[in-house]
Amino acid sequence: MGSFLKKDLLVFWRDRKEVLLALFLPIVIIVVLNLAFSGLFDNDAESVNMNVGIVDENEHSTELEQFKLRLQEMDILEVEKEALINQASAIKPSELIVEFFNDPKLKEWIPYEKVSEAEAIKLVEEGDLDAIIKIPEGFTYDVLSSLLLEEDSSTPISILAAEQSMELNTLQNVVNDFIDTLNLQFALGSTVGADLEEPVLPQGGREVVEGVETFNISQYFTIAMSTLFALFIAQTVAMKTVTEKRERVFNRILLTNSNPLEYLMGKTLATFFLSMIQMLVTFAVTQLFLDVFPGKSLAFWVGVIVIIAAFALTVSGLSALFTSITLILNDSNAASGIFTMIVMSFGVLGGSFFPLQGLPVVFQKIGEWIPNGLTQTVLIKWIQLTSVQDLIVPIIILIVFFMACLVIAVTIFPRRGRV
Amino acid sequence: MLETINLSKTFKEKKAVDEIDIYLDDGESVGLLGPNGAGKSTTISMISSLLKPTSGDVKLNGKSTIKDPSEIRKVLGVVPQEIALYEELSAYENLHFFGKIYKVKKGFLENRIQEVLDMVGLKDRQNELVKTFSGGMKRRVNIAAALLHHPKVLILDEPTVGIDPQSRNHILETVRKLNEDHGTTILYTSHYMEEVEQLCDRVYIMDHGKVVASGSKDELLSILSSEDTIQVQLSKSSDNLLEAIKAMKPVRRVDETSDGIRIISKKDSSILNNLVHAAEKEGIQITHFQLEVPSLEDVFLHLTGKSLRD
């Protein structure tokens, strides 16, 4: 079997096109995807950085007095009037907004200064400000009417900018979230009679759980691309059988009296080593140049190698199956088509093209049982510091998949005279 | 001795090989001739155990090889028509791989590789990749790979197709040496009649899946002993004269050649007189006249109605 293994590895290595496709293409794609998507997915503070001017045209005390005057004129009980006046006096809408932007965390990525409208427009034109948040005249009166008398709001906060951008969208979302939170908390506060609490700061839509590391898009691309390209190796090695058949090398092998299963096992082992090498090279190069897994321990890397080895085993089982199918089918184009379809289906369902979370639950469940999907899930969990025990079951599943493929491949491997 | 008994192969109701009986005595060199599609390659595939016959048997020293082909594989070397080598590997790497799977013992393999490379004249090019070789050199490695396990019987399926004269001579010389010096039994198929005439003691001629003739060169030539082949050169060509010759009673066949006409006729002393008269009648002068000794090519043409390279 060693001779077959050596031959298959040499044949693969001498095919420069295949080597480039298998070893360098995934790395190139990972780098390109990282460059293309880092701005979209990166949630660090540096990704949104806006200088904002707050123009406050609201006259709080005057508008509060106007609101009180209106209450006095209303045909309601004195007790109710008094309660509403007390509540209105406790609410300072424009101050709440300014306090909200004073929060140190928010100030890191949206620093602000209070300016007049004319000054703000000038600063925007000069490029010193990215956007203006305008609190209009009558805002206090309007908010109090809306919150206490349940009237429709007619004086909204406006956001002005020179041009539309992702940052501007983010700012709009931040302000909207704040207003929504304010409304909700006031509604809850008025129901239970509690004091108005400070609204919770939005966290950019990302849940942060103490003690658990999250994975980022670079890590996803590294895992997804390396598993996908490893699947292609199964196809590539199996399709070499077509050349061997066409050029009658396979017949020459049959005439040597060697056990045909040695031929099959040669392909299986060669695929195991090649996919292992391909994945390790991809992980090593992306780590070296992109620092995809920063500050990880030796134990983490050992775990990665174990998971990769288990996945390489399943890829080799798939290669054995593909090889047997190639020998059975007389039409090499049909064989190639079938393999491409299988690999691409695995790619889609296993989440190699986009994260499984984007798919319906049924597909997510299926994806978790497909070797590359399972491997991807396990590796992501491993990045998030799962325990070693959590690796055992997935690795057993991968080994079972390999065994099943190998048994089928051996069973359908053609007997003499059928090739 | 290797023999086939009523060997037949049918592909989807088409009989590719139809009950053929051929045999190869130890140390013999036998030619297998036939036009394209005659069934030669199918016969070779069945003899070499790559293809199961529909009926009939292949026997090695009286023992059937159909059920258990391991014995024949041990003593058989097959040089296929195709270059059955890994183009991405060097000549040495190819031979090393095939030697290993032929289970040539480790201690002997290195020497044997050098021996066979020497035999085919490629010892100094052994580390170059096969894909960089000329067609002739590839065919020589193709032969070397079939010799690694010291086969007693060597089957060569058109081993000199499309190669340069130097490589062709080298291959013919190698096959001759294997047969004469090493006592290797040879089954040789070729499109080149002169190769078969030069190398083989006996010849089988196949057509439409059947053996239509067999025997030594002299025995086959005797098939044409009742006929004469006459080569005639004329001062000018004439369709009328051609028709007149075809109409002559003993004439079996008339072909136009590059420098005249070729007549195959039953032995008849009047043919020359009749030919001269017919030419005079058409005002044409016979510039050259030659009575040819029949060749195997003539025998082949006679039996199959086709030239060997058709």
Query: B305 lies in a domain?
Result: no
Q: Give domain status of residue B210, yes or no.
A: yes
CA distance to partner chain B, nearest, from residue A244 (Å): 8
Tell me the angle at which helices A260-290 and A389-412 cross, rounded to the nearest 10 degrees: 140
Task: Please report which helix (H) or strand (E) contains residue A232, including its range.
Answer: helix A217-246
Cα–Cα distance list, B246 to A293, B249, B261 (Å) = 91, 8, 11
Contact of B259 with B233, CB cutoff 8 Å: yes
The answer to the question of residue B299 being in a domain is: no
Res A209: pLDDT:
38
User: Which residue in A18, A255, A261, A265 has the most chain B C-beta atoms within 10 A of its own C-beta, making it the best mutation to test that interface?
Assistant: A255
Task: Name residue, tokens 């003690």.
Answer: A211
Under DSSP, the state recorded for B129 is B
Q: Where are the alpha helices (DSSP H) in A384-416?
A: 389-412
Give residue limits of the domains in chain A: 2-42+212-412, 46-192
Residue among A14, A252, A263 with most chain B CBs within 10 A, to mutate: A252
Q: If DSSP codes are grouped into helix, strand and coil, which group holds residue A370? A: coil
Contact A328, A246 (CB under 8 A): no
Residue A322, min C-alpha distance to chain B (Å): 21
Is the pLDDT higher at B87 or at A164?
B87
CATH number (domain holding residue B273): 3.30.70.100
In this predicted complex, what is the ipTM? 0.77
In chain A, which residue's Cα lies nearest the Cα of B89?
A11
Mean pLDDT over each residue of chain B, to the nearest integer: 87
Instruction: Extract the residue ranges of chain A whose pLDDT is less than 70.
Output: 38-48, 163-166, 184-215, 357-358, 385-386, 415-419
pLDDT digits (tens, 9 = 90+) for B191-236: 788 888 888 889 898 888 898 888 888 777 777 667 788 889 888 8
Interface membership of B88 toward A (CB under 8 Å): yes
Mean local confidence (pLDDT), B43-71: 88
List CB contacts (< 8 A) between B145 and chain A.
252
B81: nearest CA in chain A? A248
Q: Would strands B55-60 and B260-266 be described as parallel, antiparallel, or unpaired?
A: unpaired
Kindly give the residue spans of alpha helices, DSSP state H, lying in A329-414: 332-349, 361-367, 371-383, 389-412
Instruction: Give the Cβ contact number of residue A92 at 10 Å.
Output: 17
Query: A-chain residues within 8 Å CB-CB of B84?
Result: 247-249, 251-252
Question: Are B150 and B7 found together in one domain?
Answer: yes
Q: Between chains, do A11 and B86 touch, taking CB under 8 Å as contact?
A: yes
Average pLDDT over residues B247-251: 86
One-letter amino acid at B4 equals: T
Which residues in chain A are contacts of B98 at CB distance < 8 A? 252, 256
Q: What residue numbers bound the domain in which B275 lies?
A: 226-293
Residues of B in contact with A17 (CB under 8 A): none
**Which chain A residues are Cβ-neighbours of B86 within 8 angstroms?**
7, 11, 249
Residue of A3, A255, A416 lying closest to B78 (CB–CB)? A255
Count up the domains in chain B and report the number.
2
Query: Do B137 and B253 lie in a common domain?
Result: no
Rounded to a whole number of angstroms, the distance from the CA of B302 to the nearest CA of chain A is: 34
Domain for residue B86, yes or no? yes
- Residue B200 φ then ψ, to 5°: -105, 145
Chain B residues touching A4 at Cβ < 8 A: 101
Instruction: Tell me, yes or no, whether B127 and B249 share the same domain.
Output: no
Question: In chain B, what's the furthest Cα-to-Cα distance?
Answer: 79
Using a CB–CB cutoff of 8 Å, tell me whether B132 touches chain A: no
Percent of chain B at pLDDT > 70 equals 98
CA dihedral of B32, B38, B43, B45, whole degrees rounded to 10? 110
**pLDDT of A189:** 57
Question: Residue B197: which CATH number?
Answer: 3.40.50.300
A210: part of which helix (H) or strand (E)? none
Shortest Cα distance from A308 to chain B (angstroms)? 29
The distance of B199 to chain A (nearest Cα, Å) reads 25
Query: What is the pLDDT, as a whole number, of residue B240?
Result: 86
Torsion of CA A363, A369, A370, A376, to 10 degrees: 90
- Specify whether B258 is located in the same domain as B208: no
Shared-domain flag, residues B155 and B74 = yes
Q: Is the CB of residue B33 less than 8 Å from the CB of residue B300?
A: yes
Q: Please tell me which of the candidates A3, A251, A257 has its beta carbon nearest to residue B97.
A: A3
Give the residue from A49, A63, A124, A51 showing the smallest Cα distance to A92: A63
| Least reliable range by pLDDT among A105-119, B15-29, B43-57 | A105-119
Does B14 reside within a domain?
A: yes
Distance, first Cα to last Cα, chain A: 21
In a domain, B127, yes or no: yes
State which residue of chain B sits closest to A6, comparing Cα positions.
Answer: B97
pLDDT at B81 (0 to 100): 87
- The kind and range of the H/E element at B5 are strand B2-11
Cβ within 8 Å, pair A251-B80? yes
DSSP states of B53-122: -SEEEEEETTEE-SS-THHHHHHEEEE-SS--S-TTSBHHHHHHHHHHHTT--HHHHHHHHHHHHHHTT-
Contacts of A256 in chain B (CB under 8 A): 73, 98, 101-103, 149
Query: Are B115 and B252 members of one domain?
Result: no
* Residues of chain B neighbouring A3 (CB-CB closer than 8 A): 97, 100-101
Q: Are residues B58 and B73 in the same domain?
A: yes
Contact A417 B74 (CB under 8 A): no
Is B28 in the same domain as B116?
yes
Shared domain for B240 and B176, answered yes or no, is no
What lies within 8 Å, CB to CB, of A167 at 6+ separation is A48, A49, A50, A130
Residues 145-164, chain B: which have Cβ within 8 Å of A? 145-146, 149
What are the backbone dihedrals phi and psi of residue A217, each rounded to the nearest 5 degrees, phi first?
-65, -30
Q: Which of B48, B83, B129 shows the shortest C-beta gap to A255?
A: B48
Please answer yes or no on whether A256 and B101 come within 8 Å at the CB atom.
yes
Residues B139 and B234 grouped into a single domain: no
Residues of B whose CB is below 8 A from A258: 101-103
Identify the pLDDT of residue A193: 42
pLDDT tier, B272 (very low <50, low <70, confident <90, very high otherwise): confident
The size of the A-B interface in CB pairs under 8 A is 69
Does B309 fall in a domain?
Answer: no
pLDDT score of A305: 93
Which residues lie closer than 8 Å to A147 by C-beta, 6 or more apart? A91, A183, A186, A190
- Name residues whose C-beta falls within 8 Å of residue B228's C-beta, 6 or more positions apart in sequence: B263, B264, B265, B266, B267, B271, B291, B292
Q: Is B93 on the interface with A (CB under 8 A)?
A: yes
Do B199 and B235 belong to one domain? Answer: no
- Are B37 and B172 within one domain? yes
Q: Is-contact B304 B33, C-beta < 8 A?
A: no
Question: How would you list the strands of the sheet with B260-266, edge to edge?
Answer: B251-257, B260-266, B227-234, B286-292
pLDDT tens digits for range B91-101: 999 999 999 99
CA distance B305 to B32: 17
What is the pLDDT at residue B91?
A: 94
